[in-house]
Structure 1
Amino acid sequence: MSQLEWIAAALVLINVALVALRNVWNYPFALVAVSLYAVVFYEARLYSDMLLQGFFFALNLYGWAAWLRARDESGVPVGWMTQQARAVWGALTIAAWVGWSAMMHRHTDAAAPWVDGAVAMLSITAQWLLARRRVESWYLWILVDLIAIPLFASRGLYATSAVYVVLLGLSIDGLIQWRRAAGPRRVAA
């Protein structure tokens, strides 16, 4: 466990706690954390997760701008996806997982291409939905946490695995908070 991993882990915890509270200032913590985690995952040969950090960096910049525009006196408003949007995003995520993981399996020495690919593709969808302020993002983060905890532990990333245990709790809290803030399921754009 490197000092870099511990710093990145602490920043992620601060980030997610602020996200659950719908606080726009989660984004600076996220940008530094994903930059550090790119190095950590490269060293662990978890290439999907390493590349994911670059995507997260860009999407966090987008999310920060979107949240700044959307916030009001009660925080950042959140809402629900349509049934059709859920089905489309679900199908796209599964297709991306299969395609990405097959490529990583075939063309790299990735340590766990299928599981790592699942974490990566679910995380991309979850992060995009989070930037769009959709409640469903938390269901995906819970699933990511449940997959990532044993994956990272198996690669000796114990601090990161422990962080994902805490993130699981924060994700459950985020889901509760955002469901409350969104109110009954209504169609969102």
Structure 2
Amino acid sequence: MSLDGVLGPLRATAFTAFGAETSWMEVVGFVTGALCVWLVARQNVWNWPIGIVNNVAFFALFITAGLYADAWLQVVYVALALYGWWSWLRGGAEHTQLTVSRVTAPQWRVVLVVGVLATVALTSLLSAATDSTVPFPDAVTTVLSLLATWGQARKKLGSWWLWITADLVYIPLYAYKGLWLTSILYVGFLALCVLGLRSWRADLRARTAA
């Protein structure tokens, strides 16, 4: 069966919101995305396989919406999800379960440098090689999301701040592209990220006190 044959039913309209048609693939992305972030906040390892389903749905959705960097970002997410899955189970000391830790000052400096350089490079690439109408927002959210996913895979508390920053850009970006359900989803993501930050911080403080 061809790719169009597989994606055809998912591209069909599920309902219309705010005058824009919402596809079934966006619905799948909404449900799996919300569940994934909720599980991350609870430090449940099942967030990783559910996240992979979410990545597949969003890849198809973003390609059709012309958000090319966000689309191919989903492929990288799958690789990071496999790493994160292993890391949470065996990435701690002596191959034990990983625990929450803070991002060190040197790590933040690396994140800043990599983030700025990668955003500039990706913005230039999208402007020159694609018909993207939002090269900079597409690039900056892609870079922030990759850095946040790395931090999430290592259970770094600071990863939540990167997700929060990315979500604040994603919400108006998806609304501008007519992806209203996804935009609403990212409002939910923002709230879940705040809860996740508080939950992970409490866990870290409890273990430090112990």
Q: TM-score, normalised by structure 2?
A: 0.84
Q: 1:54 aligns with which of 75, 83, 93?
A: 75
Q: Does 1:182 align with 2:209?
A: no
Q: Which residue of 2 aligns with 1:85?
A: 107
Letter in 1 for 2:184: A
Q: Does 1:123 align with 2:123?
A: no
Cα RMSD after superposing both structures: 1.7
| Residue deviations 1:131-185 (CA, integer Å, cap 9, x gap) | 011000000000011000000000010010000000000000111111111229x
Q: Which residue of 1 aligns with 2:190?
A: 168
Segments of 4+ moved more than 2 angstroms: none
Q: Which residue of 1 aligns with 2:12?
A: none
Q: Which residue of 2 aligns with 1:148?
A: 170
Would you say how many aligned residue pairs link Structure 1 and Structure 2? 183
Q: TM-score, normalised by structure 1?
A: 0.93
Structure 1: any 5+ residue segments left out of the alignment? none
1:86-105 mapped onto 2 (5 Å cutoff)? 86-105=108-127
Q: Which residue of 1 aligns with 2:129?
A: 107
Distance 1:111 1:160 in 2: 18
Q: 1:7 aligns with which of 15, 23, 28?
A: 28
Structure 2: any 5+ residue segments left out of the alignment? 1-21
Q: C-alpha displacement at 1:51, in angstroms? A: 0.6
More relative contact order, 1 or 2 (CA 8 Å, 6+ apart): 1
Distance 2:138 2:104 in 1: 28
Distance 1:111 1:180 in 2: 41
Q: C-alpha displacement at 1:92, in angstroms? A: 0.6
Q: Percent identity?
A: 36
Q: Does 1:43 align with 2:59?
A: no
SS in 2 for 1:61: helix
Which structure has the bigger radius of gyration? Answer: 2
